[in-house]
Structure 1
Amino acid sequence: MTEAVASDGNHGSGPLEYGERRLLHLQAARKLLTEGEPIRAVARHLVAAGGTLEPWAVAALREAAAEAVALSAEPEAREFLHTARQGTDSPAVAAELTDLDWWIRPAAAVGALTELARTDGLPSPATAVLVRRLAWHGRIEEASELLAARPDPGIDGAVTDAWLSRLYPGAFGARTGAPALDEVAATHPWLRADADPGAVLQGLALHRGALEPLQMSLLALDGAGTLDTEAGWFADLLAAARRSSSRVAEALLIAARARVELRRGELRTAEESAETALCLLTPASWGVLIGMPLATVLESLTEQGRHAEVPDRLRATLPQAISRTPYGLIYLRARGQHFLATGRSRAALGEFLAAGEIQRSWGADHPGLSPWMLDAARAHLALGEPAAARELAGRQLRGPGGDRPRIRAGALRILAGTVGPGRRPESLREAITLAERSGDRLELARCLAELGRAFTEAGQPEYAYAPLQRAWRIATDSGAGLLLAELAAGGLGGPPVDPAEARGLAQLSDAERRVAELAAQGYKNREIARRLFLTASTVEQHLTRIYRKLGVRRRSALAAIPGLVPAADVPRPGRPRPLCARPGMV
């Protein structure tokens, strides 16, 4: 029978009338279901038949849709659910179809989510999912009303409660009658207090039901600074996300990778990754989570010294509820860093203190996402208030996160800035070790620069060269225009000169110095002679004495002596922002 139906279907309007073909498809579906054949094969016949009001068919279509979703075949799942929806007015089917539409195009489904929230008869699992989607978009009042109207949480409700408590700390808690978290964690291990978020991601099969553990694990790893984007499992996860019909998981993974690149000092790459993530979803589709990729763009532009490009990004319209989430903390910090870098230290201090107030209202600290005490301490230093900076840095060392290498390195650098140059090196050496361990290259460069400055101010320039040279190289390699400007303000407008080389340069006469500079820049002897109005033999004599005084044997070695070659203009021009209006953005 199934072969006959398939053959007839291949010829469009064949010898059978529509009613006969429909009946054959329904009979084939029932036969396949009875024989235990794959449920998706059953569903395809039901789709070809145009659906039916019979309960067994609706149940088969829903089961087939769930299987298709698990296999990342979302368009097929949607077709199954749409067919089931024609055969029933069940709120559960409407909820499943709406949520699948949300997964594929989040922003377009927001209106349907709101309408669904007013529907009576939603089963508990569907209500739980609906609450999570509303909260994603910052519609927490609607989510709260829905929770209050459906007081029986069950397992799905308990999962939603736990997720909400992490996305909106202090705003939601476990409801009366909810199962114990240990019971929930048996089927949702990512909710365990001791769950390793990296292990959660490694064992994750990407589909719609895996969105919450994916999002929460990435946020936890960003806060801890331990996401390994070079691991094979991360590449596999990203590849799976790209095969999906939904761009949500792909956008989250790329946004998280951009954070790692930012900490590694790969500023241009981080900016491009964050912009790519923003292009995959519309701002409305991102909901409150937009704080992460947008903040990464802001931080990257600030560190590159491209301050003129930041105000345009600060004008973005964000969900009002973002300030009640950890993603709001990330964004608030990026905005404060821009203010601090552009001389608006008092405004920056206000942003950092606001982040502290938010975390205090939650009764929870997020030092990995928002080390507000360190940030405020830096603002106090910029305002010439070392006592306040010292007090806050000390509190950070004693408080949550104070033992993390990245946090501790920053605190020690601040403390070093509040004492005389002779007392700074000990703290700064420890800070350098910690910054290297954390992988934060820009923090490392700043610690190195401070150590070099301390030696210079203490009258020990022979010890300043090595840390300054390394700081300048890291800043140059990273394209960190802000840090290079800070170095220039301290008198280092180009690569530092080795004291031994400086002594050699001091031995050169004015005429020899001019010849050496031109030779280092690649000019030939006759060109040098013509430019300096000398004879070629005089230039050769000068070069002989130059080689002896500088301790080099050949002309090419002169280019490696920083004091002879003018510093390049390191800050690079900004690239145009990528166009986000392209296929695939949802």
Structure 2
Amino acid sequence: MDQLFRCETLPPDFRRRVNALLADELSANHAAGADPVMMNQPSITVANELRSLLLELSERGPVVVSIDDLQFADGPSLQMLLFLQRRMKSSRLLLLLAELSTVRSPHPVFHAELFRQPNCRKIRLDMLTRSGAHTMIAARLGPAKALELTAPYHEASGGSPLFLSALLDDYQAIHRLAGRLETEPAVSQPAFRNALTDCLYLAEPAAFDVARAVAALGTVRSSVLIGHILGLNTATVEHAIASLTATGLLDAEGFRHPAARTAILEEMAPEARHELHLRVATALQNDGVPPVAVAEQLVAAGTAPEAWMINVLRDAAHSELAASRTGMACEYLDLALNNCRDSRPLAALTADRMRIEWQKSPLKAMRHAERLMEASQGGHLTGQDTGLLARSLLWHGRYREARETLTRWEANGTASDRAESEELAALTGWMAYSFPALLTESAGSAATQEADTGPDSVRPFGRQAVSLLSRLLADGPGDEAVTNAEGILHSVGLGTATLDSLHAALLTLICADRPDRAAAWCEELLKEAEQQGASTWQAAFAAVRADAAFRQGDMATAVKQGEAALSQLPAAAWGVVIGGLLANLILATTMMGQHDKAVKYIRLPVPDTIFESRYGLHYLYARGHFHLSTDRPAAALTDFESCGRLMEAWGLDLPSLISWRSGAAEAALALGLKSRARTLIEEQLTRPGTQQPRTRGASLRLLAAAGDVEDRPALLREAVSLLQPDTGRFELARALAELSVAYHELGEHGRARETAERAADMMESCHIPAEWAQPLPVVRPPHATPAVASAGPSRPAGPGASDAQGGPQKGPKPVGVDALSDAERRVAELAAQGVPNRAIGRKFFITVSTVEQHLTRVYRKLDVSRRSDLAAKLHVSPPEAESA
């Protein structure tokens, strides 16, 4: 009460008289803890004198006695106020008492007595409406800004004048300091944060603790749960929540603005905040909430000191992984790893962390390999985690360590456990076609024996996929293999544990001569991998997509997908698997005539251990074709035969996987070894799977090249009938080109041109450069007139040849350059310019052998013995002059 009359606007003499009156009496009553209602006689005397002074003051004008925060008033002051209210009903005096309604009054008797008086009115002030907020903002910032800011600022403040005023203070401060105006409320700025803490300090005693608990929880959960966290009864918690809601700080869900929640937590000392999060985590765990909610609290606490917390963090990580949220999964696992002290759970957590990192970087994931190998030596790894470690070591060519890991695993009696046995069988099956050289009797024998028992329908998909591929490699492809592979692709979702199964199913489709289906499935899997943000999976499926595109004859897509795979992972992260990817890039760029790009891929370093895996086979095959394309048939034959020896030794000799004999036959033909080429192709036609259209068609094309001229058309026509544009476009183009040459050599020039044009169109669809896709020119008899030449298919000149009317040709026999046919002239001109024989053959769709036959006739007709003599005879620039 003494503070009330210190107001500077009161007359000085009035203030002196009041202060003198109140000084002794109020201090005495305060010291005695006076009742807020019942007054003793001395107090009544003082109150009457105070009433007289106020009446005297009211004669000068109306008097308003305004008191804020009544809940904090002392007993004597309340006595005086009640006395004045009772006895000044007719005076020009108004008592205006303000009290925070969200706080339970400490003086309920005073309230009862006050509101019993007839001249007392109770007015409840609610939060500002949007209209009220608009008025308040307009008064501070003007009508234009009020229109822009009312909605977001009213929402953020909850209608609290205190919070709204603070937000406007921050708005103006930002404008002054930064020169910019923000539409969004600056709830993280000083004025708002100060208003927030002021509000909490003025609220219920328990309100601050409840607000902190709600901030830690992130939402207004049950009052019972909050009571367990804080050790408060439910009624106290509910009243505090109601108080915080009434102030505009909370709504039905929690804090009106996330920054308010952050401000409350940041106001706490770090140790207290961490302890609060641990209490929240414990309460949530006891309440049976999902592991992720508990794990969030543990991460916020930054520690997990109890064993049950480690289990919760791992369970939460698995839940996040199932939802493709790897970021939070990593946080949970890292916290668990930093707090786990037991060997077996630590090994499981490390394996989980490796799986996640593998999705983005197989190279980075290997930082966990040493800890897992130690766990393996100690017998702390599960079968699934041992499989992960073995696959990772194999990927990077660390074969000895992988073999030791598998040997230890099998020695521990995994065959007695069904799940362990299934994992070992799936891994062994994967090794059978990817790392066959590593399979020994001590690593995988038990699983291999059991792998053949039981129908596929009851096996896990991993076993089904590798079993399917194993049968295909042994017996050759068929329609059943395609159906089963697509069944697996339909049924298996994309994940770390299913990647090998999906890859095996895709490889089955490719080996079954269905690259079109493999390509379609790769597109779907690429989309899914991209959605999950898994770079490794994207790269792996892009590499398979490149393989499928090459086999379809779509060279541009093969290069595009192969380069996309390389962009997803650096070369070092691919390990030995890079061999398959580089093989497709080398093959596609070689076939497109982009030898400079092919050289770039050949020069990329690859692990030495690559040639102990299937990926080395693909690499040798591709490098052989590069050598063949650049006129090094001997080197090509060496690579092809090396590839073949390994395939035979490893039991992978399947032409639809790698047709090494086709490559070797082409190299043999380039070396003039027709008999060797024929033997290779005849052997190939006896292998499993050679009845597949693409494989048989390619074999027949080469068999024709190695056979007699008169036998070629029939073989090539059969090859063309087998090959389809959607599964073997490039092979079809080559078969058509060879068929056009065969027709030409038999003098059927019309059919030769028609077939050559089909070949050119097909080559163009394969994205082969235009200069490599020119139709074979029609050969006309020397000196034939245009009319004769256009009368029908022309015939080569020779003894007994007839003209267009059927009579014998007359005139002298041509000599020198005039004796050359159009085909011989074109071949000779390119040879004179230094173009290699193989490039000449590709340009005109003829074999290297045919080029050599043309040049033999050219040398004889021009009477030269060396290639370098051609330029002078044909009057063309030699290579040196051209390069100059």
| TM-score, normalisation: structure 1 | 0.78
Cα deviation digits, residues 446-479 of structure 1 (max 9, x gap): 1111111111111222322221110122223433
* Distance change in 2, residues 1:507/1:263 (3 Å): same
- Alignment match, 2:214: 3
Offset from partner CA, 1:174-201 (integer Å, 9 cap, x none): 5365482257974632322247333322
The answer as to 2:372 corresponding to 1:161 is no
How do 1:419-498 residues align onto structure 2 when only pairs under 5 Å count?
419-436=707-724, 439-481=727-769, 485=772, 493-494=774-775
- 1:188 aligned partner: 460
- Return the match for 1:122 from 380, 389, 392: 380
Q: In 2, are the aligned partners of 1:472 and 1:484 still within 8 Å (CA)?
A: no
Measure, in 2, the Cα distance between the counterparts of 1:251 and 1:289: 11
Q: Aligned pair in 2 of structure 1 residues 342, 12: CA closer, same or farther (>3 Å)?
A: farther
Moved over 4 A (4+): 176-179, 182-187, 229-234, 493-499
In structure 2, what residue type is equivalent to 1:136?
W
Question: Within the alignment, does 1:149 sit opposite 2:408 as a pair?
Answer: yes
Alignment of 1:382-393 (within 5 A): 382-393=670-681
Say if 1:136 and 1:288, in contact at 8 Å, map to a contact too.
Answer: yes
Correspondences of 1:297-446 after superposition (within 5 Å): 297-436=585-724, 439-446=727-734
Q: Does the CA contact (< 8 Å) of 2:545 and 2:561 recur in 1?
A: yes
The verdict on how the C-alpha distance between 1:244 and 1:457 changes in structure 2, with shifts beyond 3 A counting, is same
- Report matched runs for 1:55-94 at 5 Å: 55-89=307-341, 90-94=346-350
Residue number among 488, 492, 503 corresponding to 1:204 in the alignment: 492
Note the aligned Cα RMSD (angstroms): 3.1
SS in 2 for 1:259: helix
Match of 2:195 in 1: none
Q: CA deviation at 1:247?
A: 0.3
How far, CA to CA, are the matches of 2:694 and 2:625 in structure 1?
17
Q: Which one of 107, 132, 135 corresponds to residue 391 of structure 2? A: 132
What is the rounded CA distance, in whole Å, between the counterparts of 1:334 and 1:113 in structure 2? Answer: 32
Match for 1:123: what amino acid?
Answer: L
Q: Which of 278, 283, 287 is the aligned partner of 1:31?
A: 283
- Tell me which of the two structures has the higher relative contact order, counting C-alpha pairs closer than 8 angstroms and 6 or more residues apart: 1
1:189 counterpart letter in structure 2: F
2:305 equivalent among 38, 53, 57? 53
Quote the offset at 1:232 in angstroms: 6.8
369-378 vs 263-272, greater mean Cα deviation: 263-272
Deviation (angstroms), 1:121:
4.5
Matched residue, 1:535: none
SS at match of 1:439: helix
**What one-letter code is carried by the residue in structure 1 that aligns with 2:333?**
L
2:215–2:264 CA contact under 8 A, matched in 1? no
1:282 aligns with 2:570: yes
Code of the residue aligned with 2:502 in structure 1: it is L
- The equivalent residue for 2:364 is 108
Q: Is this contact kept in 2: 1:405–1:438, CA < 8 A?
A: no
Greater shift in the superposed pair: 51-60 or 230-239: 230-239
Aligned residue pair count: 503
Kept in 2, the 8 Å contact 1:103–1:246? The answer is yes
- Once the 2 structures are TM-superposed, how far is the Cα of residue 497 of structure 1 from its aligned partner? 6.3
CA separation in 2, counterparts of 1:211 and 1:441? Answer: 29
For 1:332, the aligned partner's letter is: L
> Which of the two has higher C-alpha Rg?
2
In 2: Cα distance, 1:230 partner to 1:317 partner: 29
C-alpha distance in 2 between matches for 1:462 and 1:83: 77
Please say which of residues 349-358 and 44-53 is displaced more in the overlay. 44-53
Structure 2 counterpart of 1:96: 352
- Unpaired runs of 5+ residues, structure 2, are 1-209, 219-259, 415-419, 469-480, 791-841, 844-884
CA distance in 1, matches of 2:339, 2:373: 22
Deviation readout 1:482-519 (Å, 9 max, x if unpaired):
x964x7xxxxx5575699xxx9954699xxxxxxxxxx
Conserved 8 A contact 1:51-1:57: no
Q: CA deviation at 1:303?
A: 0.6
For structure 1, the 5+ residue unaligned runs are: 488-492, 510-569, 572-586
Of 25-34 and 178-187, the range deviating more from structure 2: 178-187
For the Cα contact (< 8 Å) 1:75–1:245, is it kept in 2?
no
Aligned counterpart, 1:527: none
Aligned amino acid, residue 201 of structure 1: L
CA apart distance, 1:231: 7.6
**Which secondary structure does the structure 1 equivalent of 2:501 belong to?**
helix
1:234-290 CA-partner distances (Å, limit 9, x unpaired): 443222101223201111111122222223332223212211111100112111221
1:318, distance to aligned residue in structure 2 (A): 1.0
Whole-angstrom CA distance in 2 between matches of 1:54 and 1:397: 67
Contact 1:416 1:428 (C-alpha < 8 Å) held by counterparts: yes
Return closer, same or farther for 1:271/1:372 CA change in 2, 3 Å cut-off.
Answer: same
Shift of 1:38: 2.5
CA offset digits 1:356-413 (Å, max 9, x no partner): 1101211232322311122211111111111111111111111122111111111111
Q: CA 1:231 to 1:427, structure 2 compared with 1: closer, same or farther past 3 Å?
A: closer
State, as a whole percentage, how many aligned pairs show the same letter.
33
d(CA) in 1 for partners of 2:718, 2:557: 29
Structure 2: which amino acid aligns with 1:135? L
Matches within 5 A, 1:165-180: 165-173=432-440, 175=444, 178=447, 180=450
Cα gap change, 1:426/1:275 in structure 2, threshold over 3 Å: closer, same or farther?
same
3-state SS of 2:590 partner: helix
Distance 2:771 2:670 in 1: 17
Measured in 2, the distance between the counterparts of 1:265 and 1:284 equals 29
Provide the secondary structure at the position in 2 that maps to 1:10.
helix
How many angstroms apart in 2 are the aligned matches of 1:145 and 1:184?
Answer: 31
CA distance in 1, matches of 2:526, 2:633: 39
State the distance in 2 between where 1:184 and 1:135 align: 29
C-alpha deviation, 1:74, in angstroms: 1.3
Specify the code of the residue in structure 1 equivalent to 2:494. L
